[in-house]
Amino acid sequence: MALPVANDNVTYDDLQAALNQKRLSPVYLFYGEEDFLVDEAARRVVDIALPTEAREFNLEVIYGSETDGRDIVSRASSFPMMSDRRVVVVREMDKLVNKELLSNYIDHPLQTNCLVLLSAKPDFRKKPYVSAKRRATVVEFKPMYENQIPGWIEKRVRQLGRKIDSEASKLLAEYVGTSLREVQNEIDKLFIYVGEKRELTIEDIRSAVGISKKFNIFELQRAVGSKDIDRSTEIIERMLDGGEYPGMITRGLTRYFATVWKMYDLRRRHAPFHEQVRVLKVNRYFLNEYISVLNTYSESEIEGAFELIANAEQQLKSTSIDPRQILEIMVVSLLRQQELSPALTFQ
């Protein structure tokens, strides 16, 4: 039995509930910025619809940039071979030529099949997205907010047969950020690190992240916060030598200065401690460190940090310059900004 066609009301939880009951729809449209969940939802549909032995003849994964709408309709209209179902997954749906040709199929799909369309930014004013909104199971996967990530980590770890305490999940979220794909990668690495241990603690996180207790994003933030150039550049060198992704470093520093900026605003308003904890949503372990940074960086330096980090991220994406050089120049620039106003000092 298919999901209801009131697609504006189909949430991620609705989808999971239906799939848990093995209720499949003939057409799905999964879209949104959280591509990790989009990919995972598509995999779950495949896993439920087809046993492994039936996939050779009944599963096709196609890229929209490599075909056209007529071909997709033909594949989706083919009957299963030696199986109850057939699944066609279309990635890069937005790049599909003549995609409007899918509209008629979406309105009258083959009930034995599952057509799974993956889109980044569907235009629901045009075909076939108009038809999908009316007849298919449409689910948007939005990025999670920072304060939602620890809960997602706890739930994910439980699903994988282990437990993680709340402080540990908060610390891991602080390290990784809001990309669920990167969160899952860190969970996988964490499991390898702890071996057969079933309950994960904050000490496990502190020991496992980065390449050591001395060279990780937290130590880099601490060194940058105290304007220790030698220590900051050493940590970057060691993190990159250990295989750390350069984008993880820039995102970690962006989150760090975003929290410093929020702290600056809270302290300027003389907000009480409990409000600072509530608004910042950071582990208490780090709170005093953020406060101390306000006596080291001026307001203009905090603002300038965002621009310097953004410039480094753009260079990492668009140039062939060695990432090591880009990150080291970024850090030196951060720590040696010309002060345009006195450092913020709070009593």
Instruction: Please say whether the beta carbons of 252 and 221 come within 8 A.
Output: yes
CA 115 to each of CA 59, 62, 71: distance values in angstroms, whole numbers, following the listed order: 10, 11, 13
Q: Where residue 305 falls among pLDDT bands split at 50, 70, 90?
A: very high
pLDDT digits (tens, 9 = 90+) for 152-193: 999 999 999 999 988 889 888 877 878 899 899 889 988 988
- Other Cβ atoms less than 10 A from the Cβ of 67: the count is 18
Say what the pLDDT of residue 259 is: 86
Per DSSP, what are the bridge partners of residue 61?
89
Residue 344 has pLDDT above 80, yes or no: no
Average pLDDT over residues 312-336: 91
> Domain 213-347 is of which CATH architecture?
Up-down Bundle (1.20)
Residue scoring higher pLDDT (223 or 283) = 223
Q: What is the pLDDT of residue 125?
A: 92
Domain boundaries, the chain: 7-140, 144-209, 213-347
What count of other Cβ atoms lies within 10 Å of the Cβ of residue 234?
16
Q: What is the mean pLDDT of residues 191-210?
A: 84
Equal CATH topology for 144-209 and 213-347: no
Across the chain, mean pLDDT equals 87
In the numeric block, which tokens belong to residue 41? Answer: 């939802």
Q: In what order do the strands lie in the sheet with 137-140?
A: 59-63, 86-91, 113-119, 27-31, 137-140
* pLDDT-wise least confident of 21-30, 274-283, 338-347: 338-347
How many angstroms separate the CA atoms of 154 and 46, rounded? Answer: 26
Out of 23-37, 49-63, 124-138, 266-280, pick the least confident: 266-280
For residue 31, the model assigns a pLDDT of 95
Give the whole-angstrom CA distance, residue 42 versus residue 75: 17
Provide the residue type at 137 as one letter: T
Q: Which fold has domain 144-209?
A: Helicase, Ruva Protein; domain 3 (1.10.8)
Q: Mean of the pLDDT values across residues 136-153?
A: 90
Residue 171 near residue 205, CB atoms below 8 Å: yes
pLDDT attached to residue 281: 67
Q: Which CATH architecture has domain 7-140?
A: 3-Layer(aba) Sandwich (3.40)
Query: For residue 262, how many other CB atoms are within 10 A of its CB?
Result: 16
CA distance 149 to 255: 14
Distance, in Å, from the CA atom of 19 to the CA atom of 13, rounded to the nearest integer, reads 10
Mean pLDDT, residues 278-287 = 68
The confidence band for 289, taking pLDDT boundaries of 50, 70 and 90, is: confident
Task: State the pLDDT at residue 211.
Answer: 46
27 φ/ψ angles, rounded to the nearest 5 degrees: -140, 130
Per the CB < 8 A criterion, the answer to whether 323 and 246 are in contact is yes
